Amino acid sequence: MRTTCFPLAHAPAGCDVRIQSIRMADVRRTQRLRELGLIEGRTVRPLTNCDPMICQVGNCRLGLCRAMARAILVEPLPMPDRESP
C-alpha cells in the first residue's frame, strides 16, 4: 500500500507527520533544515498552520515560512489508539 505524501504546509495543526523528503533547489537551505533536525524519517507536529508555521521537532519548536514548509514532503502517521476508561 502506497502512502500519500503532501507538503508540510498542508498538514493540520496538532497531527503528527513523518518527513519523507526535502525538495529545495538551494542545497544550503536544505542542509540548514537538516541541521535543525528536519531529516527524513523524523516525526514533526505542526502547532500552527499560519505563516510562519510553528512545528514541534523533538523537544524544540521551529518557525518555518510557508515556502519552506511547502518544500518538505510528509506522510500522515496513524492516530494512537486510546483506551476506553
Q: Which region, left, alpha or beta, applies to residue 22 given φ > 0 means left and ψ of -120 to 50 means alpha?
A: beta
The second-level CATH assignment, the architecture, of 6-76 is Roll (2.30)
Query: Tell me: the pLDDT tens digits for 66-76?
Result: 999 999 999 99
pTM metric for this prediction = 0.83
C-alpha cell at 50: 499560519
pLDDT, tens digit, 9 for 90 and up, residues 18-77:
999 999 888 999 999 999 999 999 999 999 988 899 999 999 999 999 999 999 999 999
